[in-house]
């Protein structure tokens, strides 16, 4: 990666920007607070990128939810859709329903799908969505709680 700080501005190509965001995201996911042992000044310059990446991730989750999940679970997570009613999806706005599964369980089900009697009720998404996207979707599902 090749970046320079010049006249208090951080110059990055979009490829480098994406790489930086990926690296930082990785570090954040590992719970590390000193990702690249960067100097304070550089850290101050990079902070907006991290915030921006976080916002981008949340936006991705909302877009992924609309695209892949809302047809059954509903935009609001209520499950009040034609498919949702047919398949008996639960209301994720309900705190009691939310308490029935852990984040890990939810991520695993999104990855591997939900089957009953040898039939897919919810298809596996592991080929369509990355681990990071799935993690963001779990957080999104949590945010649907009323
Ligand atoms: C074809 C319809 C369908 C689609 C599309 C779908 N689901 Fe599901 N989903 C279900 C059904 C049915 C269940 C099992 C019943 C339930 O728990 O609501 C389920 C269960 C879940 C659970 C587990 C809840 C628990 O009780 O453990 C989560 C979390 C979930 N879905 C999230 C998602 C996400 C995120 C997406 C999109 C990436 C998605 N679903 C797409 C039908 C669907």
Q: Which of 122, 125, 131, 135 for a ligand 1 pocket mutation test, highest count of atoms within 8 Å of Cβ?
A: 122
How close is the Cα of 135 to the center of ligand 1, in Å? Answer: 14
CB atoms within 10 A of CB 59: 11
Q: Report the distance separating Cα 78 and Cα 69, nearest Å.
A: 12
What pLDDT, on a 0 to 100 scale, did the predictor assign at position 2? 52
pLDDT digit string (tens) for the chain, length 146 residues? 555 555 556 566 666 666 666 766 665 666 665 555 666 777 777 787 777 777 777 779 999 999 999 999 999 999 999 999 999 999 999 999 999 999 999 999 999 999 998 889 999 999 999 999 999 999 999 999 99
- Each domain of the chain, given as residue ranges in start order, spans 4-143
How close is the Cα of 117 to the center of ligand 1, in Å? Answer: 16
Q: Report the distance separating Cα 96 and Cα 89, nearest Å.
A: 14
Would you state the structure tokens that stand for residue 75, as one six-digit string?
């935009």
DSSP per position, 47-70: HHHHHHHHHHHHHHHHHHIIIIIH
Please indicate, yes or no, whether the overall pTM of this predicted structure exceeds 0.85.
no
How close is the Cα of 26 to the center of ligand 1, in Å? Answer: 26
Q: Report the distance separating Cα 72 and Cα 49, nearest Å.
A: 34
What pLDDT, on a 0 to 100 scale, did the predictor assign at position 133? 95
Architecture of domain 4-143: Orthogonal Bundle (1.10)
């Amino acid at each position: 990666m090749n970046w320079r700080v010049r006249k208090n501005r951080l110059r990055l190509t979009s490829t480098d920007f994406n790489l930086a965001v990926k690296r930082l995201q990785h570090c954040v996911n590992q719970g590390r607070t000193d990702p690249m042992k960067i100097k304070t000044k550089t850290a101050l310059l990079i902070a907006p990128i991290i915030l921006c990446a976080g916002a981008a991730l949340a936006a991705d989750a909302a877009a992924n939810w609309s695209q892949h999940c809302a047809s059954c679970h509903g935009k609001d997570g209520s499950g009040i859709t034609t498919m949702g009613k047919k398949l008996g999806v639960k209301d994720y706005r309900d705190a009691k329903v939310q308490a029935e599964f852990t984040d890990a369980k939810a991520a695993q089900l999104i990855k591997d799908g939900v089957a009953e009697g040898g039939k897919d009720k919810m298809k596996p998404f592991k080929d369509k969505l990355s681990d990071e996207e799935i993690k963001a979707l779990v957080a999104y599902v949590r945010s649907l709680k009323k």
